[in-house]
């Protein structure tokens, strides 16, 4: 009885599936045969009353018919959803080349960041990061920037509703956080995003990227000469040619003495050109020997330890490397700009 019913059921279902014209009708057929109260479902439930030998035999047949119905319904569904046009009426050139898939492009700042990290890691520096929302202590106090310092003015710093929190104005706070938890010798590189309340123009943005470096060791073992060697090696590898640096006196609250770093123009080789304003030199970064007060605030005794720190704009390095004349292009989202890289 079951066997006849199964075969009859299969034939009936196939005929009804072939006649279906829309998904609503197809769904009704599914419920009719395979739903919770469907005909095939009822037959499968009744198999438990058959003798074991017959139950196994009829069970295999019922499950096979169930799979065939499922496949037939799914096939019909795909034909309704994605009808195939009559290919005989169309001409297809199988020799025509296919369309190339559009590939994404790494952002120039990403390329520059990876290159910087690679160079310094090869020199033994570890790459570390820190929070972009900072406290007043780490952003200013610990870095020897007193409360009456101009950098605290509202036109430079983006303060949050909590008067003790702000968007970090530089990556230097990470130096303090790292020193607090690690003992010298220390060699770290800190790339990251910073925020300043500045007027936006071709050379300034409210949000931009910096990269910070710090090296601390026993007193007398880390000097300005070490810094000069490290930074010259970096610039030569970054620009792919021999670069000479010069150090000029500069003031930064968290270093003493402080330096302004110029590099020999990588365009003219120091002979003078429009890029370097015919001086042969390009200003690139600020640096210096870590101020004793900063070491004390970090928990180190300046009698036993000393080191150097430096900071530079990653956007500026990208502008120099790729000859980009407007910093705003990095944040424009213009694919025509990005596709060049």
Give the active site residues.
155, 170, 196, 210, 255, 309
Q: CA 227 to CA 250: how far, in whole Å?
A: 15
Residues in Cβ contact with 153 at an 8 Å cutoff, skipping those fewer than 6 apart:
none
Structure tokens at 177: 């956080």
Q: CA 98 to CA 204: how far, in whole Å?
A: 44
Q: CA 95 to CA 93: how far, in whole Å?
A: 5
Among candidate residues 291, 285, 305, the one with its CA nearest the CA of residue 256: 291
With beta carbons less than 8 A apart as the criterion, state whether 62 and 69 touch: no
With beta carbons less than 8 A apart as the criterion, state whether 314 and 188 touch: no
Q: CA 230 to CA 25: how far, in whole Å?
A: 76
């Amino acid at each position: 009885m079951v066997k006849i019913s199964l075969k009859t059921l299969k034939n009936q279902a196939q005929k009804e599936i072939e006649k279906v014209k829309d998904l609503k009708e197809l769904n009704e057929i599914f419920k009719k045969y395979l739903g919770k109260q469907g005909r095939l479902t009822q037959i499968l439930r009744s198999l438990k009353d058959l003798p074991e030998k017959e139950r196994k035999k009829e069970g295999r047949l019922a499950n096979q018919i169930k799979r065939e119905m499922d496949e037939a319904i799914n096939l019909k569904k795909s034909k309704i959803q994605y009808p195939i046009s009559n290919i005989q009426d169309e001409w297809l050139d199988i020799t025509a080349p296919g369309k190339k898939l559009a590939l994404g492009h790494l952002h120039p700042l990403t390329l520059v960041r990876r290159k910087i990290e690679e160079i310094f890691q090869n020199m033994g520096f570890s790459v570390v990061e820190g929070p972009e929302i900072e406290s007043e202590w780490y952003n200013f106090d610990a870095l020897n920037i007193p409360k009456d310092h101009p950098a605290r003015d509202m036109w430079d710093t983006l303060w949050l509703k909590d008067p003790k929190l702000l968007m970090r104005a530089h990556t230097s706070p990470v130096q303090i956080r790292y020193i607090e938890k690690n003992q010298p010798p220390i060699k770290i590189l800190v790339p990251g995003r910073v925020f300043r309340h500045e007027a936006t123009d071709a050379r300034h943005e409210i949000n931009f990227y910096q990269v910070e470096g710090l090296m601390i060791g026993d007193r007398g073992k880390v000097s300005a000469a070490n810094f000069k060697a490290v930074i010259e090696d970096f610039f030569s590898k970054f620009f792919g040619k021999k670069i000479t640096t010069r150090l000029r006196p500069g003031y930064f609250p968290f270093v003493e003495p402080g330096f302004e770093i110029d590099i020999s123009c990588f365009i003219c080789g120091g002979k003078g050109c429009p890029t370097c304003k015919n001086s042969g030199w390009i200003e690139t970064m600020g640096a210096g020997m870590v101020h004793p007060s900063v070491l004390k605030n970090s928990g180190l005794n300046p009698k036993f330890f000393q080191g150097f720190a430096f900071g530079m704009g990653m956007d500026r390095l990208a502008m120099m490397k790729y000859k980009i004349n407007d910093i705003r292009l990095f944040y424009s989202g213009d694919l025509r700009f990005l596709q060049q890289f």
